[in-house]
Structure 1
Amino acid sequence: MKGLILKDLLNLKSTFKMLGVMIFVFAVIYIPQGNGFVFGMIILMFAMMVVTTISYDDLAKWDAYALTMPVTRKEMVLSKYLVMALLNTLGVVLALIVGAVGSVIMGQSFSTEVLVTIGVLYLIAFSFGSLMVPLIYRFGTEKARIMMFLCALIPTGLILLFTQIKIPLPEAANPLIYFFLLLGFTVIMVFVSFFISLRIYSNKEF
């Protein structure tokens, strides 16, 4: 299992360098403006990287080779979810570091609102990965990306529609209610996603 995770992280070595440059550029542009956009960009860029690891595996025909070794299909699938968790956590840590450094430079306090925003983005990153992994195993990387894009357009379109026709969106006196609802939904989604991915992967022929 450790070898599978290490393999993915080593494959992403060049990607990490590119992301480092992008994070620096985004931080220089958006932090002086007081724009929290940079936090979402950092977290979601790292969330996308689990898709990259599966793409690399497909290009190298890795699965057919790996399954000839003493590695089970369950371990192959589980390693992707563990890599996803590591990458998402790394994205959050970097977002916190960028936010803290930016706050010091700008002489501003690192507000609780920013922390909650980063926490929500962290959960959204897991939800994104939980949707993508089984879709990739079932339809392949390219088709899964298109389907994910369409899935993202649907809720966005509904929100814009509700706004245009002046249907009020739900509100809560305590926004933490939404955070914990999202937390529970994300945990369930990750577990369901894992078992769906395992079922799909177990039936695949390489």
Structure 2
Amino acid sequence: MKSLILKDLYNIGHNAKSMFFMLFVFALIFVPFSGPEAYIIASGVLCSMMVMTTFSFDDNSKWMKYAMVTPVTKRDLVASKFIVLLIFSGFGVVTGLVIGFIGGIITGKVDYSNMSDILTLPGIAVVGFIIATILGSLSIPLLFKFGTEKARTLSLVSFIIPAAICFGVYEILIFFGVSFTDQLQLILLYCSPVIALAWNLAMYKISYVIFSKKDLLYS
């Protein structure tokens, strides 16, 4: 398992400079206009998409076929992709938190003398991590099912659908007079890790079922 994770991290390491550049460009766009909060979440989602790049490397090198003649199991291979997703998402929100905080001070979006402003950003980072893992995990079953090329387009759709559903539910609740008080938001924040865990476990099981049915040696 450890070797599978390190393989993906080493492969992505070659793109580290490009990713930092993209995060810097995102900072110039989001922080001055939308604030560091939006930037932190965007950074997590952007980095979670790197899991698709690991599949591209695997496809180009025919890694999956090679892995099946080694002691690596399909269960380990699927699990490693989800662990890598967690690492990428964590890297994204932590980097977004640091750059967003600095950019927020420079642009005046964050008052470093206001403790409330400072304490809000780590909470946003937790939310960003949860959103990134949920959206990123949606793409993994598609990648196992359809391969990198077809899954890229479908993954974009899979990112849009949950956002549309959440927005629709929010609008419905507002229509029926449900008020999102600070207490309700705090409850949702505490429940969100459990929801994210359950979601990722479901995506893992779906991914494993899809991958376990593939005969890679003869495909």
TM-score interval, normalised by the smaller of the two chains:
0.7 to 0.9
Secondary structure of 1:68's counterpart equals coil
Indicate the residue corresponding to 1:132 in structure 2.
Answer: 139
Q: Is the 8 A contact 1:162 1:169 kept in 2?
A: no
The match for 2:155 among 127, 148, 154 is: 148
Secondary structure of 1:69's counterpart equals coil
Structure 2: where are the runs of 5+ without partners? none
**Pair 1:31–1:156, CA change in 2 (3 A):** closer
What TM-score results when the alignment is normalised by the length of structure 2? Answer: 0.80
TM-superposed CA distance for 1:29, in Å, is: 4.3
TM-superposed CA distance for 1:17, in Å, is: 1.0
Indicate the residue corresponding to 1:19 in structure 2.
Answer: 19
- 23-32 or 188-197: which moved more? 23-32
Indicate the residue corresponding to 1:178 in structure 2.
Answer: 188
**Distance in 1 (alpha carbons) for counterparts of 2:11 and 2:202:** 27
TM-superposed CA distance for 1:75, in Å, is: 1.3
Q: Is the 8 A contact 1:134 1:200 kept in 2?
A: yes
**Pair 1:141–1:167, CA change in 2 (3 A):** farther
Matched letter for residue 10 of structure 2: L
For each residue in 1:160-186, what CA deviation from the matched residue of structure 2 results, as whole angstroms up to 9, or x when unmatched? 7986xx835743322112223322211
TM-superposed CA distance for 1:114, in Å, is: 3.1
What TM-score results when the alignment is normalised by the length of structure 1? Answer: 0.85
Secondary structure of 2:72's counterpart equals coil
Matched letter for residue 52 of structure 1: T
For each residue in 1:130-175, what CA deviation from the matched residue of structure 2 results, as whole angstroms up to 9, or x when unmatched? 2111121122233333333334444555647986xx8357433221
Indicate the residue corresponding to 1:4 in structure 2.
Answer: 4
The total of aligned residue pairs comes to 205
Structure 1: where are the runs of 5+ without partners? none
Q: RMSD value over aligned CA atoms?
A: 2.7
- 5-14 or 147-156: which moved more? 147-156
Q: Is the 8 A contact 1:162 1:168 kept in 2?
A: no
**Pair 1:156–1:128, CA change in 2 (3 A):** closer
| Equivalent residue runs for 1:92-103 within 5 Å | 92-103=93-104
For each residue in 1:88-138, what CA deviation from the matched residue of structure 2 results, as whole angstroms up to 9, or x when unmatched? 111111011112322443462344433333221210111112211112112
Matched letter for residue 67 of structure 1: M
